[in-house]
A and B are shown apart, each in its own frame.
Chain A
Amino acid sequence: MKTKIQQLRKERKISQEELANAVGVTRQTITSLECEKYTASLVLAYKIAQYFGMTIEEVFDFSEVSCND
Chain B
Amino acid sequence: MEKFKKNLLAKMFIASMAVVLLNAVYWGLSANSGYESEFTKGFGGGLCFAMIFYAAFSAFRLYMVCIDEKKLEQLYIRSTDERYALIREKTASGSFVASAYIVCFGTVVSSFFSKEITIALACVVAVMTVCKLCFKFYYDRKY
Chain A contacts to B: CB under 8 angstroms: 20-21, 24-26, 28-29, 32, 37-38, 40-41, 43-44
Encode B75-118 as 1/0 by CB contact (under 8 A) with A: 00110111110100000000000000000000000000000000
Query: In terms of DSSP, what is the predominant structure of the interface of chain B?
Result: helix
A21 CA to B78 CA, complexed, in Å: 11
Q: A28 and B83: CB pair below 8 A?
A: yes
Nearest-neighbour CB distance to chain A for B72, whole angstroms, equals 14
What residues on B are CB-neighbors of A28 within 8 Å?
Answer: 83
Q: A25 and B77: CB pair below 8 A?
A: yes
Q: B82 and A37: CB pair below 8 A?
A: no
Task: Please tell me the size bucket of the interface on B.
Answer: 10 to 19
A42 CA to B78 CA, complexed, in Å: 19
Q: A24 and B80: CB pair below 8 A?
A: yes
What residues on A are CB-neighbors of B78 within 8 Å?
Answer: 26
Identify which of B81, B84, B142 contacts A37 (C-beta below 8 A): B142
A29 CA to B78 CA, complexed, in Å: 10
Residue of A whose beta carbon sits closest to that of B86 = A38
Nearest-neighbour CB distance to chain A for B69, whole angstroms, equals 14
A39 CA to B80 CA, complexed, in Å: 16
Q: A41 and B142: CB pair below 8 A?
A: no
Nearest-neighbour CB distance to chain B for A28, whole angstroms, equals 7
A20 CA to B77 CA, complexed, in Å: 9
What residues on B are CB-neighbors of A44 within 8 Å?
Answer: 82
Q: B80 and A29: CB pair below 8 A?
A: no
Q: B143 and A41: CB pair below 8 A?
A: no
What residues on A are CB-neighbors of B77 within 8 Å?
Answer: 20-21, 24-26
